[in-house]
Structure 1
Amino acid sequence: MGDDATRAADGRLIDAVERIGDAGRAMLREAAKREGLSLTQAQLLLRVTTPSAGPQSTGSFARWLEVSAPTVSDAASALVRKGLLEAVPGVTGSGRSSWVPTTAGREAAERLHTWRDPLTAALAACAPEERAVALRVLLEAVASLHRTGRITVARTCLTCRFFQLDRPGDASGDWCGLLAAPLAPADLRVDCPEHQPAAAHR
């Protein structure tokens, strides 16, 4: 494929990712509206209720959501007023408060998660190996954007110090040094709780 054809194909891929992103935001915004929430409030509630997230400070949530700390504080305060979050002092290890979901917050988050259903149905039409290739392509893009500072937080396999392209010994394939186990293409993680940034150990 020539340079012009490659650029054209890349452009179409970027356009497709943009359209999916636009559709995803619209679907989440609609789900948030049904819960009486803003888009940012819904994103924060979903993040707080993600098991891999753990206790986080305002700054941590801001970096993950790619918004300012005051924006997170405003969204969290609104969620507290609505009875969906509660403040817990000093759980992040820094002495600063974080938030945990209430029972009502977890129930609201479960309903919010349905925004993904149309995308899940669309992906079901693709073969598992095709989805695995798409996952790898997108994670490579995420890792590149993270290295150049375009994405602040990327807790993916490809940005982790434990990730190896080749298994120790004579076998090839992706390998997780923490788990001491091979990684199948579909096993690559987007938000790993054990993630340790590779740059911190170079």
Structure 2
Amino acid sequence: MTAIDRQREQAAAGLEQLVHLARAQAWRGGDGPALPPTQAGVLRLLSGAEPEQRAQRLVQRLGVSAASLSDTLKSMEARGWIRRRPDPADGRASLVRLDRQGRAVAARLAGAGRGMAGLVQGLHNADVAALLRVTQLLVAQAQEQGWATGLRTCLGCRYFRPFASGDAQRPHVCEYIGQPFGDLELRVECAEQQPADPEDFAANLERFRRPVPP
């Protein structure tokens, strides 16, 4: 094993430790137990920009099996947290949204200072920008390895043009809004994201991951 391999192992171990710690804290209400990860994920996704989603889309974005999600949704429905209805566009599918109680739980448990949010608050802007850049690359790796699909990052978007502005401070361009922006403005979850074609994504990924920008 080379020195860089050992350092990669250290980086992976650090991330896994943080994920474990954040998961234990992020969805804990008062003195009660932490929610199961899939329930927490459903609350997070349905309290975001898409308040109603197909169950199959939740499967893809959470990287869980259809059977596991089905059990999760049954439990959440029994608690009055979600509501399901048939999808008018596909009678075989169902649409899921948070009910009033579910929205209240999501708002209470996802406040600033919980989980990863509490850790990131202590970082300087330059470190947050670096973290956002690395997160884009890690999500891309996760999608390439089949962990999940449908994640709505800048790097995976058809409108994203890395290092295309010529401005060192705001090097990227979002063609959706026609504006340059920097790493600090990168989004991991963007409501306007449209998936890039595979060829464009591969080209953007190669350009974005260069240690020295072109």
Question: Whose helix fraction is larger, Structure 1's or Structure 2's?
Answer: 1
Q: Does 1:61 align with 2:61?
A: no
Q: Percent of pairs identical after alignment?
A: 25
1:118-133 matches, within 5 Å, as 118-133=115-130
Letter in 2 for 1:45: L
- How many angstroms apart in 1 are the aligned matches of 2:106 and 2:125? 28
Q: How many residues are matched?
A: 197
- How many angstroms apart in 2 are the aligned matches of 1:28 and 1:124? 14
Q: Do 1:176 and 1:182's aligned partners in 2 also have CA atoms closer than 8 Å?
A: yes
The correspondence for 1:94, drawn from 90, 96, 103, is: 90
Question: 3-state DSSP class of the match of 1:122?
Answer: helix
Letter in 1 for 2:13: D
Letter in 2 for 1:94: D
Question: 3-state DSSP class of the match of 2:97?
Answer: strand
Q: Does 1:22 align with 2:20?
A: yes
Letter in 2 for 1:87: R
Q: Do 1:156 and 1:189's aligned partners in 2 also have CA atoms closer than 8 Å?
A: yes
- How many angstroms apart in 2 are the aligned matches of 1:158 and 1:22? 26
Question: What CA deviation, in whole Å up to 9, does each residue of 1:126-155 have, x standing for no partner?
Answer: 211111112101211211232232333321
- How many angstroms apart in 2 are the aligned matches of 1:102 and 1:149? 31
Question: 3-state DSSP class of the match of 2:83?
Answer: strand
- How many angstroms apart in 1 are the aligned matches of 2:145 and 2:197? 12
- How many angstroms apart in 1 are the aligned matches of 2:148 and 2:30? 24
Residues 42 and 32 of structure 1: CA distance in aligned 2, closer, same or farther (over 3 Å): farther
The correspondence for 1:105, drawn from 89, 102, 126, is: 102
How far 1:116 sits from its partner (Å)?
A: 5.2
Q: Do 1:84 and 1:105's aligned partners in 2 also have CA atoms closer than 8 Å?
A: yes
How far 1:72 sits from its partner (Å)?
A: 1.4
CA-based RMSD? 2.7
Question: 3-state DSSP class of the match of 1:56?
Answer: strand
| Map of 2:38 onto structure 1 | 40
Question: What CA deviation, in whole Å up to 9, does each residue of 1:97-124 have, x standing for no partner?
Answer: 2122121111111122149525333323
Q: Do 2:86 and 2:95's aligned partners in 1 also have CA atoms closer than 8 Å?
A: yes
Unaligned runs of 5+ in 1: none
Question: 3-state DSSP class of the match of 1:100?
Answer: strand
Unaligned runs of 5+ in 2: 201-214
